C-alpha cells in the first residue's frame, strides 16, 4: 500500500523564517505525483518536484521556502504553521500527511513611556528612543511617528530625538504619543511622553558672556542648573572640536585660553525624578573687553 510522510522545520533569522520540508515515501509502491499545501506560504496543492520515474519506496525529497514575517507575527512572538502533502498510489488511493511547527521569533521592538520637564517658553529636546528596546535590529531614526500631538505645544522630529516647544506662556502638564520602526520596518507599541512645563522661569542658558575679570558676567552661568539631579556640559568650536567638557557643571567655565567668538553648547540634564535625560543645544558668544 501507499504511504507518505512530511516533516517540517523552521529557523528564524532577522526578518525571515526558513522552512525545510522533507517528503518521504514510506509505503511499498512508487508515487508518481505529490502535491504540497502550506497556507502561510500561499501554496495550495503545489506540485512537488520528484525524480523521473516517481518517488520510489524509501526515497525522500527535500525543499526549502522562506517566509517573510508580518507585524502580527512579531507582535505575537511565535509563528505556528501546518503543511500537508498529498499523493495518489497506483490504485488511485489518496494518501496524505501533515506536519506542524511553532517557531519563536524575537518580538516587535518596544517603546517605553517617557517623562520630561521644561520651563515657561523653553523648548526641550527629548531623547525618546534612549530607553526603548529595538529587539534584534536597530531603530530607523527617520521613522518616528507622532501618533497624537500635544495639546499645549508643538513637536519637531529629527534624527531620533523630539523637540517639544510649549505654547507661549503655557505652564502645566502636556503629553504626546509616538511609535517608531526598526530597520526591518516593524513598529513598536505606542508610547506616551508626559511633559511638565514649570512656570518657574529661573532656568536660563545665556547666549553671551564676557570673561574679562571685572567680576560681571565672567563665567558661562546657567541659571537654575542646580535644580537638576545631574548634568553634563560640552562646548565645541565652530569646527566641531570639543574645547570644554564637564560632568556636574557648576557655572565655572570662563573660556580660559580660547579666542573670542561663537561657541556651541550641548547640555544634558537629568530630570529631578531621575528617569529622563534631556538635551539642550545652542550657541554662546564669548567676548572679552578691556578692563575699566
CATH 2.40.50.140 fits 208-286, yes or no: no
User: CATH 2.60.40.10 region(s) of the chain?
Assistant: 4-104, 114-198
Protein fold of 4-104: Immunoglobulin-like (2.60.40)
Start-end of CATH 2.60.40.1220 domains in the chain? 208-286
CATH code of the region 114-198: 2.60.40.10
pLDDT of residue 273: 62
pLDDT digits (tens, 9 = 90+) for 226-262: 888 899 999 999 999 999 999 999 999 999 999 999 9
Share of the chain above pLDDT 70, in %: 97
Cell 516517481 maps to which residue? 54
Q: Each residue of 112-160: pLDDT tens digit?
A: 999 888 888 888 889 899 899 998 789 999 999 999 999 999 999 988 8
Q: Does residue 278 contact residue 267 with C-beta atoms inside 8 Å? A: no
Amino acid at each position: 500500500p501507499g504511504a507518505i510522510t512530511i516533516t517540517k522545520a523552521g529557523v528564524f533569522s532577522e526578518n525571515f523564517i526558513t522552512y525545510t520540508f522533507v517528503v518521504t515515501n514510506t509505503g511499498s509502491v512508487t508515487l508518481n505525483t505529490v502535491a504540497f499545501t502550506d497556507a502561510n506560504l500561499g501554496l495550495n496543492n503545489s506540485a512537488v518536484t520528484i525524480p523521473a520515474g516517481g518517488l520510489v519506496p524509501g526515497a525522500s525529497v527535500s525543499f526549502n521556502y522562506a517566509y517573510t514575517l508580518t507585524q502580527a507575527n512579531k507582535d505575537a512572538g511565535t509563528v505556528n504553521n501546518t503543511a500537508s502533502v498529498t499523493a495518489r498510489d497506483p490504485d488511485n488511493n489518496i494518501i496524505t500527511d501533515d506536519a506542524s511547527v511553532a517557531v519563536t521569533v524575537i518580538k516587535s521592538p518596544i517603546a517605553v513611556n517617557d517623562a520630561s520637564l521644561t520651563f515657561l517658553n523653553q523648548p526641550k529636546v527629548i531623547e525618546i528612543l534612549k530607553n526603548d528596546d529595538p529587539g534584534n535590529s536597530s531603530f530607523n531614526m527617520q521613522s518616528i511617528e507622532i501618533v497624537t500631538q500635544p495639546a499645549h505645544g508643538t513637536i519637531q522630529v529629527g534624527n531620533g530625538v523630539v523637540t517639544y516647544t510649549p505654547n507661549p506662556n503655557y505652564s502645566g502638564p502636556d503629553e504626546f504619543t509616538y511609535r517608531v520602526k526598526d530597520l526591518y520596518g516593524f513598529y513598536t507599541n505606542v508610547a506616551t511622553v508626559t511633559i511638565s512645563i514649570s512656570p518657574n522661569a529661573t532656568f536660563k542658558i545665556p547666549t553671551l558672556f564676557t570673561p574679562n575679570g571685572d567680576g560681571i558676567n565672567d563665567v558661562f552661568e546657567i541659571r537654575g542648573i542646580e535644580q537638576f539631579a545631574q548634568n553634563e556640559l560640552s562646548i565645541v568650536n565652530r569646527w566641531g572640536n570639543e574645547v570644554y567638557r564637564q560632568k556636574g557643571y557648576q557655572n565655572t567655565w570662563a573660556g580660559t585660553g580660547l579666542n573670542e567668538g561663537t561657541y556651541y553648547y550641548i547640555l544634558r540634564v537629568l530630570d529631578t525624578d531621575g528617569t529622563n535625560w534631556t538635551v539642550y543645544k545652542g550657541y554662546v558668544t564669548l567676548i572679552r573687553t578691556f578692563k575699566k
